[in-house]
Structure 1
């Protein structure tokens, strides 16, 4: 689509880091810390995150090179379009959009849960039950209010979203790291031992460590938001800087998880934390003025969820904008707000889905997470493969290339395949037919119908497709 509008903005390098890191770190370091300790212990959990961090850094390096080669809005979809052509690219974008939009629903449900923890005396009413879980008035009211706020921030443009993200991310880091440092000061290193004992789960520690490694496909996901902001970066931010910030955000997130596990485990025997409902809350309560600090922790967790929600919402809008600007979705979705320059119709569309999804309640949380993780890791595989394809198609050397060359790219591809296999196999280990498969299959059918109905427009894109120039300036949206 040669006349498709372009997104513009002035997102700086520190805001790019906030988008990446803030989209990665959400609530897991508080909510499922007990599971990490139960399955792997502190040392096993740290090893899992270090291994997963190395793998995702390698995958992120592939994304960084792709961003330098194809500096366009659309991320995974745009990379696949340049490397493999329209048909495969459409399904990459289609499933990635499903994954990110699913997470917006998860974030809304999680925000409502944290607010209920902060104010346990709020009067509430159970409205109905779905997926064996009660859905209450407060859950829907809080989630809807949060979705409206996030939509409004994004409605005001990419720069507005990035500023909001920056305030929340750096505020979160300041307070969260202060709490972690306090636990390390007041805690005891002896509580970390023995390093590799018999696990409460009965399974060897390395199985839990391996599970954490595999889950890093979800726990370290979100760095792609930086690639989505490439056209909206400030004029002084080079593609090399964008690439490096992407890598740093992944490494910083992996390190944060390691610090959180270690600090909490120094406050009391980790075997006791492994059986606690909220292990991080219990660990912080052991500090001086613990009850007050627990409330601060929950406020920090709320800020963390809001920044993740905003970052995920940002990514979802850019994926759909990329699809629409290439003719796969209605071109009406590419219309930009006359004042804010935002793809406001897409923003309102995602907000509507976000609010509607809240009706599923917390019983859908596991389903949403598994669906998002599966869609995301399949995209990891294709984007790592896209680096091989574009290196053959493009002769120009971009501003950033993967350090270590084909060896690191190959490692990233193998790691992505391993994570994808884990995401696909895990649902089968549960009893019954995996509902995730039904969702993904239905989404594939809807996508196929959409592709057929839009074939005339996407074929124009295919006819004009050409390798993207590896230059510092973003090329027009029309080609690929």
Structure 2
């Protein structure tokens, strides 16, 4: 009997799960830090550039998700186009990126409660435990984050359709609040508050430094845009035509990209962004400081809702990556099993454990993981684009329910993302990672190499058996 996930998601549910997975909450209370580090121009233009890169790359996901509607997404495409080694590498990178996001939500939840409910702040900060990267970790905040992760773990064990219903409601409310913030910021604010868009010393070249600030922000922006690949990971659970699965990928990234750009622009215009950069709680404090406390509460609502939808979406996505790798023999087989309800419980449990293993480090340290997560995401995007072209050549007669009309766009997006990633990885440039982030990258690579040798090299199935299990009986004819 084929170990297949239950098909229950509609088109709207698939789009909302994807978009809700993209639109999280971290940006709400980190806009001040971002404005201070990159300038309003770097943040807004960097998000525009990242969204354009993601949109170009998403076209390849749309074509492949429609062609191979099975759990695993990029992992499956890499195996079909190339080999199991690349499939494992991509899967391992994605696990690192998704876990970085879920752990960030766990680490930041206590601080969000202290900000949103000031009466609880003395309690939440009453028992300090330790400080990492300048961020104090408190006992009650850590427990609050743990409860958040546990609630969504339990919800996900009920089945993806249960999570989808909750996600729909939360996502719609979040979108309405975001539209209100963007509209208020743009209509009530002033362009003069946005200009000059960069805080560049007079002795430095504005154009050069502004471009570097913009490129630098693309990496964290890519992390914020991670979730659109969730659509391809959930393709097996979609109860719609293959063509609509492809369209869902495209709709998801455009919705999320537009949302981010408009809300960030509104935040930069409502007051001079240099003032916003000095505030402690990002967009929440910015709109309150501007004299619109109701909008400050709306931003707070987005933060809480984004925390919920992001945690739910990233946990779903990560568990499907682990499930697909377990089903294909890239990870231990027990991770690729379903329970009697058709839920990948073991993969969900592994996601839960890994989230806790990182989340205790605190929000300051999690910024390092988000930056490295952007590298992982960007690399997986680049690989997926090349997989699309390789599969076109390798299997020219395969049916393609959704085919990208402008075939040059994905490669443009991939080359742009790859260029920025390489500049970030090279030490000593203005875009380079911080020292702890290089350590995290090396440790994650070494851990992945160890698991690969232990699992795939020593105890793996044949390549054809692994691929057949990942594809399923109904899709094996695509290999012809």
TM-score (ref. length: structure 2): 0.88
With over 3 angstroms needed to count, the CA separation of the structure-2 counterparts of 1:214 and 1:108, relative to structure 1, is: closer
CA contact (8 A) 2:212 2:431 kept: no
CA deviations 1:371-393 (Å, max 9, x no partner) are 21122112112111111211111
Secondary structure of 1:74's aligned partner = coil
Secondary structure of 1:127's aligned partner = strand
Structure 2 stretches lacking a partner, 5+ long: none
With over 3 angstroms needed to count, the CA separation of the structure-2 counterparts of 1:282 and 1:98, relative to structure 1, is: closer
What is the Cα deviation at residue 322 of structure 1? 0.7
CA RMSD in angstroms, aligned pairs only: 3.2
CA distance in structure 2 between the aligned counterparts of 1:197 and 1:99, rounded to whole angstroms:
31
Name the counterpart of 2:217.
212
Q: Residues 370-449 of structure 1: matches in 2 within 5 Å?
A: 370-395=371-396, 396-405=398-407, 407-425=408-426, 434-449=435-450
Aligned residues: 471
Q: Residues 50-449 of structure 1: matches in 2 within 5 Å?
A: 50-122=48-120, 123=123, 124-131=126-133, 133-193=135-195, 204=206, 205-234=210-239, 237-285=240-288, 290-338=292-340, 340-395=341-396, 396-405=398-407, 407-425=408-426, 434-449=435-450
With over 3 angstroms needed to count, the CA separation of the structure-2 counterparts of 1:38 and 1:426, relative to structure 1, is: farther
What is the Cα deviation at residue 449 of structure 1? 3.1
With over 3 angstroms needed to count, the CA separation of the structure-2 counterparts of 1:477 and 1:394, relative to structure 1, is: closer
Secondary structure of 1:135's aligned partner = strand
CA distance in structure 2 between the aligned counterparts of 1:477 and 1:95, rounded to whole angstroms:
29
CA contact (8 A) 1:111 1:306 kept: no
Structure 1 stretches lacking a partner, 5+ long: none
With over 3 angstroms needed to count, the CA separation of the structure-2 counterparts of 1:191 and 1:80, relative to structure 1, is: same
CA distance in structure 1 between the aligned counterparts of 2:97 and 2:219, rounded to whole angstroms:
17
CA deviations 1:17-60 (Å, max 9, x no partner) are 11221111222442232355446655554433333222111111
With over 3 angstroms needed to count, the CA separation of the structure-2 counterparts of 1:468 and 1:351, relative to structure 1, is: closer
Please identify, of 202-211 and 80-89, the stretch whose mean Cα deviation from structure 2 is larger.
202-211
What is the Cα deviation at residue 181 of structure 1? 1.9
With over 3 angstroms needed to count, the CA separation of the structure-2 counterparts of 1:56 and 1:186, relative to structure 1, is: same
With over 3 angstroms needed to count, the CA separation of the structure-2 counterparts of 1:88 and 1:462, relative to structure 1, is: farther
What is the Cα deviation at residue 132 of structure 1? 5.3
CA distance in structure 2 between the aligned counterparts of 1:158 and 1:21, rounded to whole angstroms:
15
CA contact (8 A) 1:6 1:477 kept: no
1:451 has 2:452 as partner: yes
CA contact (8 A) 1:217 1:419 kept: no
With over 3 angstroms needed to count, the CA separation of the structure-2 counterparts of 1:43 and 1:113, relative to structure 1, is: same
What is the Cα deviation at residue 299 of structure 1? 2.3
Please identify, of 12-21 and 178-187, the stretch whose mean Cα deviation from structure 2 is larger.
178-187
